[in-house]
């Protein structure tokens, strides 16, 4: 059962949370790629008001402030606390992106950022996004690479370890409390970029942006915990040396933009 909380009457469309997600990203490949994503969206999106669907939007957005500022944003999230803490969406819906169905061709943009790794049925979610998207509309996905060092560790370690990492290495004291990251991960096969590419091509989507990046956890760790980071960097360098040429196990995340033909 989904409940709808209408924030249209809330004081302002903009809030500091909109820019915080980007500000929180330390300088590095992930931040560079996100800025390139913003440029692509600014260039490719139509002028004027936009309808945006933040799937699993939680309480922060990675979209550019100027795009959000001219948009009606609808967020769907399964976590009641995340919905309550959301201050940037005009409409916040407590629901499951795998089953929540909007009318056909409702949105110009669907953004699903740091979410598909948490879904047991990524295919169902993607088909819902595609259905809800206007022709020429775009889906932005940000997700971890399951074959990277951070991806493999996340996939095969227990949830308590993720909470420990967030609290003690990332320094987020509220990690693991209700409505706070980290959220349980599933790593459905479609989270793998090559499989996602095959799926999207088969469903009439064109990949107009694709970049694998060093996980932002590396520059973050180098700043916060240099000794720990040096150990992880040494382990990653060793793995890169023994794995096939060109492999970089530090490439823990990717960004793609898919356009509906
Ligand atoms: C890591 S957070 C990302 C939040 C936001 N997109 C961001 O990048 O800051 C993952 C979000 O996905 C939500 N989520 C997980 N499974 C979901 C589902 N089946 N349907 C809707 N939201 C879901 C969680 O509640 C959480 O808010």
- What's this model's pTM, rounded to 2 decimal places? 0.91
Which CATH architecture group holds 5-145+186-215+248-260? 3-Layer(aba) Sandwich (3.40)
Give me 198's structure tokens: 């095959």
Cα–Cα dist 135/123, whole Å: 19
Domain ranges of the chain: 5-145+186-215+248-260
pLDDT tens track for 57-67: 888 889 998 99
Angle at 11 between CA 6 and CA 13, to 5 degrees: 75
Token readout for 192 is 């793998």
pLDDT at residue 19, as a whole number: 52
Which amino acid residue places its CA nearest to atom 15 of ligand 1? 118
Q: What is the pLDDT of residue 36?
A: 95
What stretches in the chain show pLDDT beneath 50? 1-18
Rounded-to-integer distance, Cα 119 and Cα 98, Å: 8
Quick one: which of 131, 126, 83 has its CA closest to 106?
131
Which atom number of ligand 1 is nearest to the Cα of residue 76? 21
Q: Tell me how far the alpha carbon of residue 116 lies from the centroid of ligand 1, in angstroms.
A: 8
The answer to whether the CB of 75 is under 6 A from ligand 1 is: no
Q: What is the structure's pLDDT at 3?
A: 41
C-alpha 135 – ligand 1 centre gap (Å): 25
Using an 8 Å Cβ cutoff, are 110 and 125 in contact? Answer: no
Three-state SS for 41?
Answer: helix
Give phi and psi for 179, each to the nearest 5.
80, 5
Residue 248 is encoded by which pair of tokens? 């970089």
* CA distances to 82, 144, 146, 186, 214 from 191, in Å: 23, 8, 7, 9, 17
If one counts every other C-beta atom within 10 angstroms of the C-beta of residue 66, the result is: 11
Q: Is 97 in the pocket of ligand 1 (CB under 6 A)?
A: yes
Taking the CA of residue 98 as reference, the ligand 1 atom at the shortest distance is: 19
How many beta carbons lie within 10 A of that of residue 171, not counting itself? 11
Beta bridge partners of 92: 5, 75
203-257 per-position pLDDT tens digit = 999 999 999 999 999 999 999 999 999 999 999 999 999 999 999 999 999 999 9
Describe the crossing of helices 217-224 and 226-242 by its angle, rounded to 10 degrees.
140
86, 64 contact by CB (below 8 A) = no
pLDDT computed for residue 12 by the predictor: 34
């Amino acid at each position: 059962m989904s409940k709808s909380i209408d924030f249209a009457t809330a004081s302002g469309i903009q809030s500091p949370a909109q820019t915080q997600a980007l500000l929180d990203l330390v300088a590095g490949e992930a931040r560079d790629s996100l800025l390139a994503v913003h440029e692509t969206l600014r260039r490719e999106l139509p002028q004027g008001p936009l309808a945006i669907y933040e799937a699993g939007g939680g309480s922060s957005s990675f979209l550019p402030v100027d795009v959000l500022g001219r948009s009606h944003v609808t967020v769907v999230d399964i976590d009641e606390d995340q919905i309550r803490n959301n201050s940037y969406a005009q409409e916040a819906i407590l629901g499951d992106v795998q089953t929540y169905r909007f009318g056909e061709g409702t949105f110009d943009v669907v953004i699903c950022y740091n979410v598909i790794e948490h879904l047991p049925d990524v295919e169902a979610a993607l088909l819902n996004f595609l259905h809800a998207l206007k022709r020429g509309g775009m889906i932005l996905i940000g997700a971890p690479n399951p074959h990277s060092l951070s991806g493999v560790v996340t996939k095969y370690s227990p949830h308590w370890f993720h909470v420990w990492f967030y609290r003690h290495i990332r320094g987020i004291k509220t990690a693991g409390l209700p409505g706070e990251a980290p959220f349980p991960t599933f790593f459905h096969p479609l989270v793998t970029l090559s499989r996602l590419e095959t799926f999207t091509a088969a469903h009439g989507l064109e990949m107009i942006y694709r970049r694998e990046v060093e996980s932002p956890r590396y520059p973050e760790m180098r700043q916060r915990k240099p000794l720990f980071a040096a150990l992880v960097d040494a382990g990653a360098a060793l793995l890169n040396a023994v794995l096939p040429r060109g492999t970089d196990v530090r490439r823990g995340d990717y960004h793609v933009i898919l356009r509906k033909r």
